[in-house]
Chain A
Amino acid sequence: MPKFISDMEALLGKTPDELKAIVKELGAQPFVANQLSDWLYKKDVQSIDEMSNLSVKFREKLSESYEIGLKPYLTVQESVDGTKKYLFPAANGKFIEAAYIPEKERKTLCVSTQVGCKMGCLFCMTGKQGFQGNLTAGEIINQIKSLPEGRELSNIVYMGMGEPFDNMPNVMRSLEILTAEWGYGWSPKRITVSTIGIIPGMKEFLERSDAHLAVSLHSPFDEERRQLMPIQHIYPLKEVLDEIRSWDFGRQRRVSFEYIVFKDLNDTPAHVKELSRILNGIKCRINLIRFHAIPGAPFQSSDEQRIEAFKDELNKKGILTTIRKSRGEDIYAACGLLSTKILGNS
């Protein structure tokens, strides 16, 4: 088996302060930290040896304990619709997936934040995997940096494997690296972070980041949502929405609600009415998502006609509602289908 993970500490994912500490520890001048940061986040180098404006002696010292931390993808699958699913290595012999979704106007990467997920949503394949660990900020960034199409990306969505706000330090750090001037300089308006509604994490995210927020809603009724999403026991939707109401959305930053449409379960007129009631006063969008069947889940997706009608009814109620195009279903890259359970156990 090839060696995916090295014992060296990764530089990718380090902040300027951390780089300064490393540089100091290795006896170099403080300005070297800025040079190091530039090499990591502004230029494309594959090894410390290529950092040509650092002294050879420093590079040698640095290489004794550190590496850049780039981890090339292991496999790629391509869908008939052009979506690509990349498999990346993670720590402890585990794996994660990232989905690259090219469209005419935008090219989006859906990144993972955890190996598996502990939220246990009934409709999600990643949830069936259980939880095997958090990704580091470097491992999150690596999905972008090591993507062959990395330079073409227009949008990044934190909607892959895992619950981002269950890995707060690394998610926030990765957002900082992506958006900081010293980092990749991405506009936060091109980044969306999706959560099932972990309120404390959501608060911290809204305070510290300007990226867009997406919340998995899936049912406006407490008991029904509880049946689908165990987190409802801890952070009920009402409290999630109360928190969202206290923030200014609709100008620079958007909030959207993800809603998988299950046949005869959450696609009724009563759901339209209740959605309209609970979202009243929130400038938002609802994204309707077709359910992509997974083994053992006792659901079917609503048919196209019903989803269209559901969308129209919500729009009539004044809630901007769109239907998300399913992408990569044939390679299990579509929403809710990412999983590396079999690989992780092998």
Chain B
Amino acid sequence: MGTGISAVKKLELFPEKIIDLKEIGGGGFILRLPRRYDFEAGQVIGLSTRLSLEPRLYSIASGENDKELEILFTRKDDGQLTPALSGLAQGDTVYSSRPFGNYTHVTPGCFWIATGTGLAPFRSMLRSGKGKDAFFLHGARDSASFYFSEEFRESLSNRYVPCSSTGAGGCFPGRVSDWLLQADELPLDKQFYLCGRAEMVVEVRDILISKGISFKNIHAEIYF
């Protein structure tokens, strides 16, 4: 999850000093914060630059055993939070909530599908040792936007499939939905985890269902 629900004023927020904020290309940033609480891979936090500003929800991108909390976001010029957030630096204060959410019931051999920063929960799962035999279909606009692709490739080998309709090198030439439409058959017994913008999630979900995947095996997390 990357660009959260716009009405989470009532979340309890705590001040945190930024450990590090780094631009990683493709408009993406990695925010590192002290890790105060235990969490499960797939959970989110509310994040804001000011208490008066509505926090947005972001999936945690770091692992359950990592020392720091990592949040992946892309700067949206017309966004309420990310223009200010991306301008902060080490030592500046942000406000974050406790981790919450239950997009966490991952099973071995599952099928991850994400676009853009929607990979965050899957990176957290991977770093938490919950990516056993996972298959990851990852869509992005360009090569700079395949965040953490080396980590995924190293762990998942050819079970990591980057997709780009703009023809980035080494990628499947098309969107994740194209890949799914062209797939001869999909594993009907596997659990499918989707994360990204609503348009992608509903489109991919429809394709999966049309290919015989039970809706009960589809777990959708949307950029709420």
A and B bind: yes
Q: Is the CB of A119 within 8 A of B224?
A: yes
Asked whether A280 is an interface residue with its Cβ less than 8 Å from the other chain, the reply is: no
Known contacts A234-B44, A236-B102, A227 near B216 by CB under 8 Å: yes
Is B130 in contact with chain A by the CB < 8 A criterion? no
Residue-wise interface mask of B (2-27) relative to A, using a CB-CB cutoff of 8 A (1 in contact, 0 not)? 00011111110000000000000000
The answer, among B7, B10, B101, B214, for a CB contact under 8 Å with A233, is: B101
Q: Does B148 contact A (CB under 8 A)?
A: no
Bound complex: CA of A119 vs CA of B220, how far in Å? 10
Q: Please, which residue of chain A has its CB at the minimum distance from the CB of B10? A: A200
Q: Which of B150-158, B159-167, B205-213 contacts A (4 or more CB under 8 A)?
A: B205-213
B95 within 8 Å of A (CB atoms)? no
**Tally of contacts, chain A with chain B, CB under 8 A:** 89
Residue count of chain B within 8 Å CB distance of chain A: 33
Known: A199-B10, A234-B101. A166 touches B202 (CB 8 A): no
Q: Are A119 and B218 in contact (CB under 8 A)?
A: no
Cβ contact within 8 Å between B7 and A168: yes
Task: Pick the interface stretch among A5-13, A43-51, A127-135.
Answer: A127-135
B102 in contact with A233 (CB, 8 Å) = yes
Residues 252-290 of A at the B interface (beta carbon under 8 Å): none
Which of chain B's residues have a CB closer than 8 A to the CB of A217?
A: none
Number of interface residues of A (CB under 8 A): 32
Which residues of chain A have C-beta atoms less than 8 A from B202's C-beta? Answer: 120, 127-128, 130
Q: Does A198 contact B (CB under 8 A)?
A: yes
**Contact among B7, B101, B198, B209 for A165, CB-based, below 8 A:** B7
Chain A min CB distance to B213 (Å)? 10
Give CA–CA (A203, B11) in the complex, Å.
10
Determine the residue in chain A with the shortest Cβ distance to B44.
A234
Q: Considering the chains assembled together, what is the distance between the CA atoms of A168 and B222 in angstroms? A: 18
> Are B223 and A118 in contact (CB-based, < 8 A)?
yes
CA distance A117 to B220 in the complex (A): 15
Listed A/B pairs (6) with beta-carbon separation below 8 Å: A116-B198, A119-B198, A168-B54, A230-B222, A232-B102, A236-B102
